[in-house]
Chains A and B, each alone.
Chain A
């Protein structure tokens, strides 16, 4: 099977990309201005005490040694100690990542489900009043900054109408036994709606416009005309042939959208005080908390890289021309 070989070479590429990301992350934070220890080392400390602290975090060693230690630790799944929280970065990320993933995927799945259906519909109804009204509306949602949209939704649905809570993931004092318990609770879902809606409204334009333009192209294809000449029902022609083919590039865009979304999360999580990786990342960078920022960046990069792999594999399943070449 050539498929195994293809997957193998993709995994190798993935490892290389990951290594590059790790290296860039390492260097990036060392090149940033400012001494990371400034926040934790009191100027009244003696030089000896300061150096002792530096040594404790390994910051007295030459850069290449720090890099090797960092790589070695990463291979063991060790992300280091957060300067600020004085606790392992891995644990910190592990509690935040699920929040981010739930927010990202729930909003993206809504955005894509809506965008694909609406895009196909608008292509089918080309030239109608609905289409002419919908396209500018969609472009408007693409043009709105996420933080602004988030604040508008907060102002309307939280502050004015009071339908949804303004931030966080749970009501004050509420305790849950685990992730599943939390994520299926009414409390959590009501917290999720506004940030997820913000991201979904912002994201649905891409799949919608992509799907629409693909559909318009595919509808002109001979096989769609032939499907009509075969006397197949409108539904079969539009859904089974036109939409099925138009869907291919949209699925690839999903992976890219995950990357954009994680980027968007940084903003939206801050607006909605969502305890996710994005907000933590902003805080960590502001506080020069190298290990935590590095870990957060790494996690985000890892998700993007894995999604790209998934998109490639999915494409091979969806398009026989890729897998049966």
Chain B
């Protein structure tokens, strides 16, 4: 792998809730290469959205980045002064939110909101901004005469396209899309994903796609980062994750979603149990209580094992993954735990 665009090293983000701290992201490390779509996947509360927001450094009032590095083109965003960070927002790192309805200001036209970014952040004049807005609308497949419309006049899918157009406005190097299609029906989901993929390839963008839906990841991503309980369980190319998942959690996720790549067993097998409470996480491997392959050794902190080049796995038994995969494919393996 060549020099990555973004390299997250041992990132830690905590929320203060009352007097206690919830370590939502507890030592996450992964790389985002240039010109790829990386799926950041995991179940609700695993810290994926917190990671995504930490990359922009616009996080909740009660949250703080408590450790680690976010290396972006040689600069550590975690420690960058606010002024420099703000200069970099949207110009280098743009964001596509989950709910485009709520993320567009209801009292301004879409053109105003595009123009606001283009003029205030991109230094364009009114005429240039208008021209660029038309260009952006064309890119995402919306008629330019709808620029003067207000957000509520668009359908859900259209609003999501507007959100993508907004993200593309200043030609960012990295786009973080936080559950960009979750609120949409499957047909529109697919259209939006196709569009995102097409734009990503055409413009050579790097995209981080945050989602809980591994089938979305399988559909358009080149790489995947699987998060569990605030840590990265496994990361690598999509190929590696689909054909050779090496963390039991990833194996379980594969069984729990309909397989878009064919060769489905036809039976969906859920992973029983729930993720641990991050205010007081268990010692050792956090997946241990739900893992069908857990051993005594799993009570201690698991190592990061490179099962292949560019394929780190956070598991004591990562080296046995080939054998575990065969077991994990059986429904009984997961039922026995329950």
On whether the beta carbons of B89 and A222 are closer than 8 Å, the reply is no
Whether a CB of chain B sits under 8 angstroms from the CB of A230 is yes
* Residues in chain B near residue A245, CB distance under 8 A: 105-107
CB of A241 within 8 A of CB of B121, answer: no
Is the pair A229, B150 in contact by a Cβ cutoff of 8 Å?
Answer: no
Answer yes or no: B88 CB below 8 A from chain A CBs: yes
Interface range, A side: 20 to 34
Partner of B58, one of A223, A228, A240, A320: A228
B116 and A232 form a contact (CB under 8 A):
yes
In the complex, are the beta carbons of A230 and B89 less than 8 A apart? yes
Number of interface residues of B (CB under 8 A): 25
**Cα distance, A221 to B100, chains bound together (Å):** 12
Q: Are A232 and B121 in contact (CB under 8 A)?
A: yes
Would you list which residues of chain A between 273 and 325 have a CB under 8 Å from chain B?
A: 318-321, 324
Stretch at the interface among B71-79, B90-98, B280-288: B90-98
| Interface of A (DSSP majority class) | helix
Residue of B nearest to A225 (CB): B58
A223 B150 Cβ-Cβ under 8 A: no
B120 touching A236 by the CB < 8 A rule?
A: yes
User: In the complex, which residues of chain A have a beta carbon less than 8 angstroms from the beta carbon of B150?
Assistant: 320-321, 324
A227 to B58: give the CA distance in the assembly, Å: 10
Q: Is the CB of B91 within 8 A of A231?
A: yes
Whether A231 contacts B107 by the Cβ 8 Å rule is: no
- Are B107 and A244 closer than 8 Å at their CB atoms? yes
Q: Mark A227-257, 1 if CB is under 8 A from B, else 0.
A: 1111111001000110011001000000000
**In the complex the two chains form, is A226's CB within 8 Å of B95's CB?**
yes
Within 8 Å of chain A (Cβ to Cβ): is B308? no
Q: Min CB distance, A246 to chain B, in Å?
A: 11
- C-alpha spacing A285/B99, complex, angstroms: 59
Contact B103 A223 (CB under 8 A): yes
Q: Which residues of chain B have C-beta atoms less than 8 A from A320's C-beta?
A: 106-107, 109, 150, 152
B116: chain A residues within 8 A (beta carbon): 230, 232, 236, 240
Known interface pairs A223-B102, A320-B150, A321-B152; A230-B121 also in contact (CB < 8 Å): yes
Note all chain B residues with C-beta closer than 8 A to A241.
105
* CA A240 to CA B58, docked complex, whole Å: 18
A223-B103, A236-B120 known; A229 and B58 CB under 8 Å? yes
Asked whether A229 lies within 8 Å of B107 as measured between CB atoms, the reply is no
- Within the complex, the shortest CB–CB distance from A252 to chain B, in Å, comes to 15
The residues of B that contact A240 with a CB separation of less than 8 Å are 116
Q: Are B91 and A319 in contact (CB under 8 A)?
A: no
User: C-beta contact mask, B140-158 vs A, less than 8 Å → 1, else 0?
Assistant: 0000000000101100000
Interface hits, B90-135 → A, CB 8 Å: 90-91, 95, 97, 99, 102-107, 109, 116-117, 120-121
Contact partner, A221, options B58, B87, B95, B102, Cβ 8 Å: B102
Which residues 65-87 of B sit at the A interface, judged by CB distance below 8 A?
86-87
Contacts of A236 on B, CB cut-off 8 Å? Answer: 116, 120
The distance in angstroms between the C-alpha atoms of A324 and B102, with both chains bound, is: 18
Q: How far is the CA of A222 from the CA of B120 in the complex (A)?
A: 20
A226 touches B103 (CB 8 A): yes
Closest residue of chain B to A242, judged by CB? Answer: B105
Contact A319 to B107, CB < 8 A, known contacts A230-B117, A232-B120, A324-B153: yes
B237 CB within 8 Å of chain A:
no
CB-based nearest A residue for B176 = A229
| A223 and B105 form a contact (CB under 8 A) | yes
Cα distance A226–B97 when bound, in Å? 8
Contact call B90/A230, Cβ cutoff below 8 A: yes
A231 with B105: CB separation less than 8 A: no
The reply to whether the CB of B56 lies closer than 8 angstroms to some CB of chain A is: yes
Q: What's the Cα separation between A107 and B298 when bound, in Å? A: 72
Instruction: Decide if B106 touches A229 in the complex (CB within 8 Å).
Output: no
Nearest-neighbor residue (CB-CB) of B169 within chain A: A230
In the bound complex, residues from chain B placing their C-beta under 8 Å from that of A221 are 102
Known: A223-B102, A223-B103, A223-B104. Contact between A231 and B97, CB under 8 A? no
Is A231 a contact of B88 with CB atoms below 8 Å? yes
**In the complex, A258→B25 CA distance in Å?**
53
Q: Which residue of A has the minimal Cβ distance to B100?
A: A222
Q: How far is the CA of A236 from the CA of B108 in the complex (A)?
A: 13
Given A236-B120, A324-B153: A231 touches B102 (CB 8 Å cut-off): no
Contact of A229 among B89, B105, B109, B120 (CB under 8 A): B89
Contacts of A228 in B (CB 8 A): 58
Query: Is the beta-carbon distance between A231 and B86 smaller than 8 angstroms?
Result: yes
Q: How far is the CA of A222 from the CA of B113 in the complex (A)?
A: 14
Q: Bound state CA distance, A198 and B52, in angstroms?
A: 52
Establish whether residues B95 and A229, one from each chain, have CB atoms under 8 Å apart when the complex forms: yes
Across the interface, which residues of B come within 8 angstroms of A222, CB to CB?
Answer: 97, 99, 102-103
| B contact residues around A233 at 8 Å (CB) | 120
Across-interface contacts of A324 in B (CB, < 8 A): 150, 152-153
A245–B106 CA distance with the chains assembled, in angstroms: 8
- Cβ distance B176 to chain A, nearest Cβ, rounded Å: 9
Chain B residue with minimal CB distance to A219?
B61
- Chain A residues with CB below 8 A from B105, complex form: 223, 227, 241, 244-245
In chain B, positions 275-322 with a C-beta closer than 8 Å to chain A are: none
CA separation between A318 and B152, bound complex, in Å?
Answer: 15
A residues less than 8 Å from B121 (CB atoms): 230-232
Query: Measured between alpha carbons, how far is A320 from B150 in the docked complex, in Å?
Result: 7
* Cα A221 to Cα B106 with chains together (Å): 11
Interface residue ranges of B163-207 to A (CB < 8 Å): none
Whole-angstrom distance from the CB of B164 to the nearest CB of chain A?
13
What 5 additional pairs, Cβ within 8 angstroms, besides A228-B58, A319-B106, A324-B150?
Answer: A222-B102, A223-B105, A225-B58, A225-B103, A227-B105
- A-B pairs, 9 with minimum CB distance: A231-B89, A222-B102, A222-B103, A320-B150, A223-B105, A226-B103, A228-B58, A229-B95, A230-B90
A and B contact pairs by CB, cutoff 8 A, 11 listed: A222-B97, A222-B102, A223-B102, A223-B104, A226-B97, A226-B103, A228-B58, A230-B89, A230-B121, A248-B107, A321-B152
Q: Using a CB–CB distance below 8 Å, which chain A residues touch chain B?
A: 221-223, 225-233, 236, 240-241, 244-245, 248, 318-321, 324
